[in-house]
Amino acid sequence: MSDIFEYAPAPESRDVVDIRPSYGLFVNGEWIDSLGDERHKTLNPATEEALAEFSYATPADVDRAVDAARKAYDSVWGRMPGRERAKYLFRIARIVQERARELAVLESLDNGKPIRESRDVDLPLVAAHFFYYAGWADKLRHAGLGEDPRPLGVAAQIIPWNFPLLMLAWKIAPALACGNTVVLKPAETTPLTALAFAEICRQADLPPGVVNIVTGAGETGQALAGHEGVDKVAFTGSTEVGRLIARSVAGTRKKLTLELGGKAANIVFDDAALDQAVEGIVNGIFFNQGHVCCAGSRLLVQESVEDELLAALKRRLATLRLGDPLDKNTDIGAVNSAAQLDRIRELSDAGEAEGAQRWSPPCALPDKGFWFPPTLFTGVAQSHRIAREEIFGPVLSVLTFRTPAEAVEKANNTPYGLSAGVWTEKGSRILWMADRLRAGVVWANTFNKFDPTSPFGGYKESGYGREGGRHGLEAYLDV
Amino acid sequence: MSTPTTSLTEVASSGATLRAFLHGLPGVDRVGADQRAATLGTRSIKTTAKAKAIDLAISMVDLTTLEGADTPGKVRAMCAKAVRPDPADASVPKVAAVCVYPDLVPHAVEALRGTGVRVASVATGFPSGRTSLAVKVDDTALAVASGADEIDMVIDRGAFLAGDYLTVYEQIVAVKAACARKDGEDAHLKVILETGELVTYDNVRRASWLAMVAGADFIKTSTGKVAPAATLPVTLVMLEAVRDFRDRTGRMVGVKPAGGIRTTKDAIKNLVLVNETAGPDWLTAEWFRLGASSLLNDLLMQRTKLTTGHYAGPDYFTLD
């Protein structure tokens, strides 16, 4: 009887995507070859199979892309009325919806995230961001940012590998709505959906040069952020790289927004709705294999319910299904790269060495690919590395507290400040906590919820500036 | 919840202790519960898993007719269908039980003798329950004396919503006592919470615990006469309750969603919910039932589709 719900595999078909063997750069509405000859392969992290070859753009390539963006800004996009720009953005949003299945499969292939998440979370949000900012394009004067806010010019945008297409949407949609043109560099492990987006720009008849996509790694990013022809730099990624970019931009006229790491506290009080808190903890840290900058990687649980909550959490973790990202029943997919897997392993080992207790549910890992089981550490102290450093993987550190004040103190005792979660049935306590938590987003009785209308961004080493919502326009306007 | 076999009898020693206990249960966040049920509803059950799920679902059906117009003839026809759901295919399992009003129990008992299909009867002033305890007990005794294996009782929602938990508790205890049969066995008691009238998920959780503490063998969502009936989140909350109750007492209680489950898809979603909430121990007709009348034919239709590759029209399945 027990094998009834060995759910038979339900893989999403790969046939809906058409991956070319090799990609160039997308500049001025055309595919061009890189002037350099450094080319790399992007892997499917679940199988280590090479998916396609792409270029590492050289500084000269970046020059060409920035020039194209400048020309498009001066001649077409910067002077186009907002209502006309809106039409393009609406068109892009609709094409994204029409091609959602294909894009979701492509994202899961290249990134390793479960199709359930790329299909049900990423793609709907990508479309929603374009729809939302399309609505703003002709209403910028009503955004509360001055009488006649003007675009900045050319935006250099560098995005990470955890939500490749969603981060692209977060960057490109507001930039275009405000009248800027962009040069975007996707992460070197996940370039495919950005390259597919280039095709969407052509399909939408976007004027050449408004969106340019250059692929590559750190050096390409450096050339782009440091390029004297750009007016704005937007970066999402690690705090370490964020610091480098901040240094390179300092003293120039460029505007900068940074969205960096996090070590969010997910705070559970003893009166919380327990079953839903467990779901929120799972969603907070195991969503997207924990590759989420606002992941709830520190669980702060009130001491009086620690045993009960941990028992419920362990029981729930045992039901998580790890495996083929394209299977619709998979909850946890592959870690994005070998390098990231090494980092997760290193920090987890450090957790054990420092004396925290490690626990994972019984969980078979596939032979090939990059995998890490859902893991939780109990007996964690604030001074442990696993409580301080961002792991960016499916690893939860459990700490305890006794009073609300102690919870706030511990939650804020971190170099980061991107997000926090509070679980309690008491409304007044939620408000009291939200006032005191130093985090850009505070979720109450939920976690990892995103919406284009809601601003997102952090304090301290989690960066500065806001993306999303009305506030997100400010980063792309001269106000 | 981590202390198994703790006795819960003292919680009902007074109205105040019972109230304190029920209100001390962890709350249920509606948004979160709805979301969890919706997520589990996206599990994709295909091929072999689907074939097994369909047969399991058929074996869990309580085939039900609860109309004022019911006749002995209709009940006999339904019993025939319960034993042999698909005349064209002997490999289809029998359903778990047929469920009828108390006065029709003798006809069902006769038609089902020796088949293994159980007879369930709604008693206690079904569906509103607005009658005296004496009548409810008599109603139950009549059904049990007529040979019913299972009694589906309704709780007094008025008393529950008024906060008079002790009255509800005592009525369940009394009806449970009336389930005793002459042969020394008990008829199984299924307690219907009528969750559509309890409205909040907190109430659903409290009513579930109240029924279990009072001795229910099964907790059941609805009479089928009130909308909304068995929604997925309500079933989820009840499954969490039986799971936590077993952790605490060691005793297993069954769950029966009833009303509004019409399609194979709905049935499979329920099975996924059981599997991932209470666990596979509950995935048998002994611990999980589907109260339904029109579900069976859809299950049969989907089963035929899986074996033949074609959809047959509704006329290929019997109406009873």
As given in the structure block, the two tokens for residue B207 are 């009513």
Q: Is B46 touching A (CB cutoff 8 A)?
A: yes
Chain A residue with Cα closest to B36: A279
Subunit contact A1:B283, Cβ cutoff 8 A: yes
Chain B residue with Cα closest to A8: B49
- Label residue A163 exposed, middle or buried (CB < 10 Å: 0-12, 13-18, 19+): buried
In angstroms, the Cα distances linking A344 to A181, A289, A399 are 37, 11, 19
pLDDT for the residue numbered A2: 46
Q: Is B33 touching A (CB cutoff 8 A)?
A: yes
Subunit contact B49:A7, Cβ cutoff 8 A: yes
Instruction: Report the catalytic residues of B.
Output: 152, 220, 256
The distance of B188 to chain A (nearest Cα, Å) reads: 23
Q: Name the pLDDT band for B4 (thresholds 50, 70, 90).
A: very low
Chains A and B form CB pairs within 8 A to the count of: 82
Give ranges for CATH 3.40.605.10 in chain A. Answer: 14-260+462-478
Note the residue count of chain A. 479
Subunit contact A116:B272, Cβ cutoff 8 A: no
pLDDT for the residue numbered B1: 42
CB A183 within 8 A of CB A66: yes
Residues of chain A neighbouring B53 (CB-CB closer than 8 A): 4-5
Q: What is the DSSP-derived secondary structure letter of residue B190?
A: E
Of B33, B49, B240, the CB nearest to A6: B49
Subunit contact A273:B28, Cβ cutoff 8 A: yes
In angstroms, the Cα distances linking A175 to A150, A199, A210, A382, B116 are 12, 19, 10, 39, 69
Subunit contact A445:B49, Cβ cutoff 8 A: no
Subunit contact B46:A116, Cβ cutoff 8 A: no
Of A3, A10, A276, the CB nearest to B29: A276
DSSP bridge partners of A183: A156, A212
The distance of B177 to chain A (nearest Cα, Å) reads: 33
Give ranges for CATH 3.40.309.10 in chain A. Answer: 265-444
Among residues A259, A306, A390, A467, which one is catalytic? A259
Q: In this structure, which CATH number among 3.20.20.140, 3.40.309.10, 3.40.50.720, 3.40.50.970 belongs to the domain A265-444? A: 3.40.309.10
Q: Is the pLDDT of residue B305 over 60?
A: yes
In angstroms, the Cα distances linking B241 to A325, B201, B245, B253, B282 are 32, 11, 6, 9, 13
Q: Give domain limits for chain B.
A: 45-308
As given in the structure block, the two tokens for residue A80 are 């186009």
Compute the distance between CA of residue B31 and CA of residue B20 in angstroms, rounded to an integer: 25
pLDDT for the residue numbered B183: 87
What is the distance, to the nearest Å, from the Cα of residue B31 to the centroid of all Cα atoms in its chain? 25
Residues of chain A neighbouring B280 (CB-CB closer than 8 A): 1-2, 4-5
Of B32, B271, B280, the CB nearest to A2: B280
Of A116, A276, A328, the CB nearest to B32: A276
CA angle A64, A67, A72 (to 5 degrees): 125
Percent pLDDT > 70 in chain B is: 98
Q: Name the pLDDT band for B6 (thresholds 50, 70, 90).
A: low
Topology of the domain covering B45-308: TIM Barrel (3.20.20)
Give the residue-averaged pLDDT of B259-276.
97
In tens, the pLDDT along B123-137 reads 999 999 999 999 999
pLDDT for the residue numbered A3: 64
Residues of chain A whose beta carbon is less than 8 angstroms from a beta carbon of chain B are: 1-10, 116, 120, 271-276, 279-280, 307-308, 311, 319, 328-329, 425, 445-446
CB B165 within 8 A of CB B15: yes
Chain B residue with Cα closest to A121: B39
Compute the distance between CA of residue A182 and CA of residue A201 in angstroms, rounded to an integer: 12
pLDDT for the residue numbered B312: 86
ipTM: 0.94
In B89-164, alpha helices (H): 105-112, 133-145, 157-161
Compute the distance between CA of residue A390 and CA of residue A292 in angstroms, rounded to an integer: 10
Between B314 and B109, name the one with better pLDDT: B109
In tens, the pLDDT along B214-224 reads 999 999 999 99
> Angle, nearest 10°, between helix axes B264-277 and B295-308?
90
Residues of chain B neighbouring A3 (CB-CB closer than 8 A): 52
In tens, the pLDDT along B24-36 reads 999 999 999 999 9
Of the residues B25, B36, B44, the best mutation for testing chain A's interface (the one with the most A CB atoms within 10 Å of its CB) is: B44
Residues of chain A with pLDDT under 70: 1-3
Q: What is the DSSP-derived secondary structure letter of residue B208?
A: H
Q: Is the pLDDT of residue B319 over 90?
A: no
Of B2, B31, B42, the CB nearest to A446: B31
Q: In this structure, which CATH number among 3.40.50.1100, 3.40.605.10, 3.90.1150.10, 3.30.70.1400 belongs to the domain A14-260+462-478? A: 3.40.605.10
Compute the distance between CA of residue A420 and CA of residue A440 in angstroms, rounded to an integer: 8
Give the residue-averaged pLDDT of B290-298.
94
Between B256 and B312, name the one with better pLDDT: B256
Q: Is B57 touching A (CB cutoff 8 A)?
A: no
Residues of chain B neighbouring A275 (CB-CB closer than 8 A): 26, 28, 32-33, 36, 240
Model pTM score: 0.95
The distance of A461 to chain B (nearest Cα, Å) reads: 31
Q: Is B276 touching A (CB cutoff 8 A)?
A: yes
The residue among A399, A342, A363 whose CA lies nearest residue A286 is: A363
What residues contact A291, with CB distance under 8 A and at least 6 apart? A113, A161, A162, A335, A336, A340, A392, A393
Chain A residue with Cα closest to B56: A4
The distance of B64 to chain A (nearest Cα, Å) reads: 26
Chain B residue with Cα closest to A269: B26
Q: Is B25 touching A (CB cutoff 8 A)?
A: no
Cβ-count burial B246-285 (b if 16+ within 10 Å, e if not):
bbbbeeebbbbbbbbbeebebbbbbbbbbbbbbbebbbbb
Q: Is B3 touching A (CB cutoff 8 A)?
A: no
In tens, the pLDDT along A383-421 reads 999 999 999 999 999 999 999 999 999 999 999 999 999
Residue A448 region by backbone torsions, left for phi larger than 0, else alpha for psi between -120 and 50, else beta:
left
